[in-house]
Structure 1
């Protein structure tokens, strides 16, 4: 009964928001399609109104895009009995897109890292990309996903800086957190490209130990496994140490 109870409570909260602050709900569709995306957008609007800042603007933009992208494919559905439902969704989709474009223009000069990534990744803004890279050592950049994004921008032109960002990303995880396997996959790509066979051997086993063996192409990795038993024991000790550090939130590059 717990999930049903929580869902009911959530709907009560959304209904309360819509009754007390109808401006957060007035331009949204009303039926059950995309209801979770609709609820997330309502909450994001309220959060931004209550606490206006770049972080909440970013969250609102993400919610608008998710809501728009959920509704957009439904517009091709032909309703035979209640065509007003289609019109309802069409208007909501157009208004969500318009609101998103307005927020993009509003945030074009922001140095909030997630907004810079948005403008680079979704709008192809090279100035935003350059500004994001320039923030590499800032406190606000010390989050795993931001360091991962930084590394992906640097990996072609500055592999040393990319490697540093990837290790920093791993060091930012708390104990028992779920590590993004793509961070380790990016490390492997770098090590394989640079023929750093010992590092490739170690990190393939780290990735496998974390339950992501399906990501590994063993045919590419086998040539790096040509180490004698003593070397493999030493490297396995390094693997065990890395796994322990990641599990306890104490990872540091040795």
Structure 2
């Protein structure tokens, strides 16, 4: 079937125009500077002409753009966290005295106050959010109503993340040590082995807390086990000589625990940890308090 020249030119024009629109939208924000130029409200009152806190500011600007496109609670929560990170950086640099650029200090101070205002605004907007991670954040900020909401979710799948299980454990640590241990182990079981904040913060905290909680219950062998797991994963734990003094035992027992600790550390790093790995030692006494 032949297509007339006029119809072909029309179709070609539509295709080219559509391509230009898509390309233009993409290329118009190829840099943070272009993003700010196209969306000045996103960058207003930030220290955009200042080299200080550049990485924190850039992350915040692009997240604000994401929120502009999709103002979901989780996107706003990410913006809140990045704003607080930016504010922490600006709190330091806003105090820097410059001999020739006094205006810089003023701009930094204004940017810091703007960050504080943004934090207050975002927290207010998220006050009624039902997202579990946001409820947990509100509790950590002293909201007792959020604590009640958080605890009601304990037996649901909504808290099935390493971070939120660790959060539950912090609530129970002074109330129920055995339950705390179960929650900490579940936190590690939910870890999928990926690099990132969970690997860098949540996993180490869970391991150290497991060593501490078991030690407080008198489960010294298993406390030693978790200390060795931490050592295997390059966490800041006591040196081997100190651990031997703290946990005296026969060499055969020490070697047995060391082997299992190595297996557990590997399983955690691969995202395959299962609390059943601990049963090899047969040292957990659930009757201890």
State the TM-score, normalized to the length of structure 1.
0.84
Partner of 2:229: 206
Alignment of 1:242 with 2:264, yes or no, is: yes
Alignment-derived partner of residue 143 in structure 1: 161
Q: CA deviation at 1:87?
A: 2.4
- Which residue in 1 is equivalent to 2:7? none
Q: Match of 2:134?
A: 115
Q: Which residue of 2 aligns with 1:50?
A: 69
State the shift of 1:221 in Å.
6.0
Contact 1:201 / 1:221 at 8 angstroms: preserved in 2?
Answer: no
Given that residues 142 and 172 in structure 1 are in contact (C-alpha distance below 8 angstroms), is that contact kept between their aligned partners in structure 2?
yes
Match of 2:110? 91
Q: Aligned equivalents of 2:146 and 2:86: distance in 1?
A: 25
- Check whether the contact 1:34–1:70 (CA below 8 A) recurs between aligned residues: yes
Kindly state the Cα deviation for residue 39 of structure 1 after the two structures are TM-superposed: 0.6
User: Which digits, 9 at most, give the CA deviation of each residue in 1:127-183, with x for residues without a partner?
Assistant: 223322332233332221222222112111122221111111111222465462221
The answer for unaligned runs of 5 or more in structure 1 is 1-8
Which residue of the partner structure matches residue 68 of structure 1?
87
> Could you tell me how far 1:224 is from its partner in structure 2?
2.8
My pick for the range that moved more, 162-171 or 172-181, is 172-181
Deviation string, structure 1 residues 31-51 (Cα, Å, up to 9, x no partner): 211111111110111111112
User: Deviation at 1:119?
Assistant: 2.1
TM-superposed CA distance for 1:237, in Å, is 4.2
Structure 2 segments unaligned to the other structure (5+ residues): 1-26, 277-289
The answer for the alignment partner of 1:126 in structure 2 is 144
**CA displacement, residues 20-40 of structure 1 (integer Å, 9 cap, x when unaligned):** 211111221222111111111
Cα gap change, 1:226/1:42 in structure 2, threshold over 3 Å: closer, same or farther? same
Aligned equivalent of 1:174, options 165, 180, 192: 192
Larger radius of gyration: 2
Question: How many residues of Structure 1 are paired with residues of Structure 2 in the alignment?
Answer: 242
Question: C-alpha separation between the residues in 1 aligned to 2:40 and 2:194?
Answer: 41
Counterparts of residues 2-21 of structure 1 (less than 5 Å): 12-21=30-39
Q: CA deviation at 1:233?
A: 4.6
Cα distance change on mapping 1:94 and 1:232 into 2, 3 Å = closer
2: distance between equivalents of 1:225 and 1:245? 26
RMSD: 2.5
